[in-house]
Amino acid sequence: MELIEKAREVFSREPQLIRHHAEDFFVVGDTHGDLDTTLEAIKFAEKEGLNLLFLGDYVDRGPRQLENIATLLELKLSWNGGLTLLRGNHESAEMNMWYGFYNAVVSIYEPQLYEKFAELFSQLPYAALIQDKVFCVHGGIPQKLTSIDEIEDFPKGEINPRHPKAIQLIWNDPCEDIDEFAPSWRGGGAMLFGRLAFERFMNMNNLKLMIRSHEPQDKGYGYLFNDRLLTVFSCRYYGIRPAGALLRGGKVEIVYLD
């Protein structure tokens, strides 16, 4: 309870769009209770002297969900600005009820402890911007979002996100078969976005690269839209090699965490 409360206070002071001026980062995708991948990412970042950024989905599905999120919260308290934890679509009560984290908590502790986790998740930021050029988010670009500055006004404290554009930030997926936006197979207000919509958003905000997660990748990563969109996925329990993206010296390198 003390760990959750201390971390919640830290997250509550962070803006919804975190702007980083440092350029050396290691970006990690979904871990879903994959503690081994999280520990490998931390070890790699410490060895290389990197800032660490996780793109969300720390719980649900995997076997070590509590250990995974507790490890990250402990690291957040010691690293603070050196560790960025973004909100994914699984940092919400609706998903946790269906996909395992609620049961993982209440099987050991009281339901009140899960409520504290839900409050904590509601304070996680939605996006990060590195060196004004690299946009990091869990899902994708929302329809009708023209400026990334708008993200700063998204509300905090929603146990289940209700702001339409916030929902799309954590739920949307890219699609090469469309140009603009189309309803997603995921439902619930999620959308697919195509190349023209993506390029318009990137150009209007003077962005070079977008890094997101949310979708398992056969190789642990995948590029789309003339290599301006990078998806990284970091959970080994999907039968893939967990991967992360190393940003250093203006270049991007894929690093495996197995």
Active site residues: 90
State how far the Cα of 29 lies from the Cα of 54, in Å rounded to an integer.
Answer: 6
Q: Where does the chain show beta strands of DSSP type E?
A: 17-20, 25-28, 51-54, 83-85, 127-130, 134-137, 173-174, 181-183, 191-193, 209-212, 221-224, 229-232, 243-248, 251-256
Q: Closest by alpha carbon to 118, among 165, 59, 172?
A: 59
Residue type, 29: G
State how far the Cα of 89 lies from the Cα of 181, in Å rounded to an integer.
Answer: 19
How many secondary structure helices (H) and strands (E) does the chain include? 8, 14
